[in-house]
Structure formats: structure tokens, C-alpha cells
């Protein structure tokens, strides 16, 4: 609204300037009025030629001639650059009015418009600077998060490797402990089985020795019979010790054979003593 009023005021000033200039020109260029009682020009007659520019007054010409001027200076035409005094006065008045109107109406509005545009540009620049700062902040935050993620992933990988190594070492230690425990249990089972077999073998040998002694005591045998009996007993004990060695081991079988041999020797000695006593008894008894 204010801009429209400013434009209207400027247009009115220009119209006033043009009107004043036209009025001044019309006043200066108007032909002199016709004298009273002069006949009017007939209709259809060509217009009278414009009057020539008035020459300077006689006094001015006298002064020019006295100062050394020429006669042509008195008949010189008006200056086309410098206007006449009325035109100069009206132009000055119009310029002053235009300047006042512009200073009151146009200049404040123009200044306000320029200030508003400057403020808008400044606000736009500030907004762009803030946006750039925010973008840089967001970029820095993203970069920091990326670095933290890389560091976290590296730390997780290190922890995973350490955990894997720890689990591996723990599993190896458990496997070694379980293997040692299993070996200990196997050794205990083997020792218990060996003791059981040895006990059973000793019991069998004792029973066989007792049976052999009973047989020897029951019958009177000569030397050859005693030798056969001892060999049979050794073979019997050898077969029993072979079964025991398959159950308990080769070392246990060897020990059993030695024990069986000793017991067989004792049984043979007992049988021989009994046989020697039996013939004595037979000799002492009546025929």
C-alpha cells in the first residue's frame, strides 16, 4: 500500500513538472496579440509566420559596441543550452518539490525495503551458517559413533578370542583331568580284578592241594606214582593258572604258576611222606 502511494506521488510530480514546462513554453512562444481594429485574416489564408526572436535592446547593443563588441552580437539568438529565466525558475521549483516528495514518501519506503531485503539476506546467511554448523555437528557425531563402533567391534573380537582361548584351555584341562581320572580308575579296576583273580586262584590251589593231599593219604603210592601224581597236579594247576592269567594278565599268571608250583611241591612232599609212612606201616603190620 505504501509503495502504491509512493508511485502515485512520483507520477503526480512528473505530471506537474511537465505541465509547468508546457505552460512556460506556451507563455514564451505565444505570438503577440493583434492590435485592435486590425482586420482578421481571411479564412483559408496560410498562418502568419512566427515572429522572430526579439533583438536585444538598443542600450545593450550600445554597451556591447562600447566594450568592443560587434554588431552581430546584438542580433545573436538565445542560448539553446541555458534556459530562459522563467523556465529555470519553474524547473527549480519542480525539482525542489520532487525532492521533498521523494524524501518524505519514496526514500523512507525505499530505505525500508532495502533494509528488509538486507535483513532477509542476513537471516538467510545466518540460517545457512546454522544449517552448516548443524550438519558439521551431525557429521562429527556420526564419525564419532563410527569410531566407537569400530573400537567396540575390535574389543568384542578380542574378548571373543580370549574367551575362546580360555574355553579351549579349560576343555583341555578338563579332558586331561578326566583322562587321568579314567586311567586311575582303570588302574584301580585292574588292581582289584587282579587281586580278585589271585584270591580265587589261591583258593582253588588250596582246594586242589587239599584234595591231592587227601588222595595221597588215602592210597599208598610208589615213587613213580608220586611223580605222575605231581605232574598231573602241576598240569592241573597250570591249566587253572592259565585261565587266571587270561582274566588277570600275563604277570599274574606267572606269579600264580610259581605259587602253584610251590604248593605242588609241598603237596608232593606231603604225599611222598605219606607214601613212605604207609609202606612202613604195611611192613610193621602182620602179613
**Model confidence pLDDT, tens digit, residues 128-142:** 999 999 999 999 999
- Mean pLDDT score across all residues of the chain: 70
Mean pLDDT of 140-161: 91
Residues sharing a CB contact under 8 Å with residue 105, sequence separation 6 or more, in sequence order: 5, 6, 9, 10
Tell me which of 16-20, 47-51, 132-136 is least confident.
Answer: 47-51
Mean pLDDT of 58-86: 69
CA distance 248 to 241: 10
Q: Are 48 and 41 in contact (CB under 8 A)?
A: yes
List the chain domain ranges: 191-284
Residues sharing a CB contact under 8 Å with residue 24, sequence separation 6 or more, in sequence order: 86, 87, 90
Between 254 and 168, whose confidence is greater?
168
- Per-residue pLDDT at 99: 86
Asked whether the predicted pLDDT for residue 150 surpasses 80, the reply is yes
Residues sharing a CB contact under 8 Å with residue 175, sequence separation 6 or more, in sequence order: none
- Per-residue pLDDT at 184: 92
Mean pLDDT of 252-276: 46
- Using 50, 70 and 90 to split pLDDT, how confident is the model at 252? very low
Q: Give the Cβ contact number of residue 190 at 10 Å.
A: 13
- Per-residue pLDDT at 201: 87
Q: Are 3 and 109 in contact (CB under 8 A)?
A: yes
Asked whether the predicted pLDDT for residue 20 surpasses 60, the reply is no
| Predicted confidence (pLDDT) per residue in 88-142, tens digit | 888 889 889 888 888 888 888 888 888 999 999 999 999 999 999 999 999 999 9
Residues sharing a CB contact under 8 Å with residue 254, sequence separation 6 or more, in sequence order: 245
- Cα–chain center distance at 135: 17
- Per-residue pLDDT at 277: 41
Amino acid at each position: 500500500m505504501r509503495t502504491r502511494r509512493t508511485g502515485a506521488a512520483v507520477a503526480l510530480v512528473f505530471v506537474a513538472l511537465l505541465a509547468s514546462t508546457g505552460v512556460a513554453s506556451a507563455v514564451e512562444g505565444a505570438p503577440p496579440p493583434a492590435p485592435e481594429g486590425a482586420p482578421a485574416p481571411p479564412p483559408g489564408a496560410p498562418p502568419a509566420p512566427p515572429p522572430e526572436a526579439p533583438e536585444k535592446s538598443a542600450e545593450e547593443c550600445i554597451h556591447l559596441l562600447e566594450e568592443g563588441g560587434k554588431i552581430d552580437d546584438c542580433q545573436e539568438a538565445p542560448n539553446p543550452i541555458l534556459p530562459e529565466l522563467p523556465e529555470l525558475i519553474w524547473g527549480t521549483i519542480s525539482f525542489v518539490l520532487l525532492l521533498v516528495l521523494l524524501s518524505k514518501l519514496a526514500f523512507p519506503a525505499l530505505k525500508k525495503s532495502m533494509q528488509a531485503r538486507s535483513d532477509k539476506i542476513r537471516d538467510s546467511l545466518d540460517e545457512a551458517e546454522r544449517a552448516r554448523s548443524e550438519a558439521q555437528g551431525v557429521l562429527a557425531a556420526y564419525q564419532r559413533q563410527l569410531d566407537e563402533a569400530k573400537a567396540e567391534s575390535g574389543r568384542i573380537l578380542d574378548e571373543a578370542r580370549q574367551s575362546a582361548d580360555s574355553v579351549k584351555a579349560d576343555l583341555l584341562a578338563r579332558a586331561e583331568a578326566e583322562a587321568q581320572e579314567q586311567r586311575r580308575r582303570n588302574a584301580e579296576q585292574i588292581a582289584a580284578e587282579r587281586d580278585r583273580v589271585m584270591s580265587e586262584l589261591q583258593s582253588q590251589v588250596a582246594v586242589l592241594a587239599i584234595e591231592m593231599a587227601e588222595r595221597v593219604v588215602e592210597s599208598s603210592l610208589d615213587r613213580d606214582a608220586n611223580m605222575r601224581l605231581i605232574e598231573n597236579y602241576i598240569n592241573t594247576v597250570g591249566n587253572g593258572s592259565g585261565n587266571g592269567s587270561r582274566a588277570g594278565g600275563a604277570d599274574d599268571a606267572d606269579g600264580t604258576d610259581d605259587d602253584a608250583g610251590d604248593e605242588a611241591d609241598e603237596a608232593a612232599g606231603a604225599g611222598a611222606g605219606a607214601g613212605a609212612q604207609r609202606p612202613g606201616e604195611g611192613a610193621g603190620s602182620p602179613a
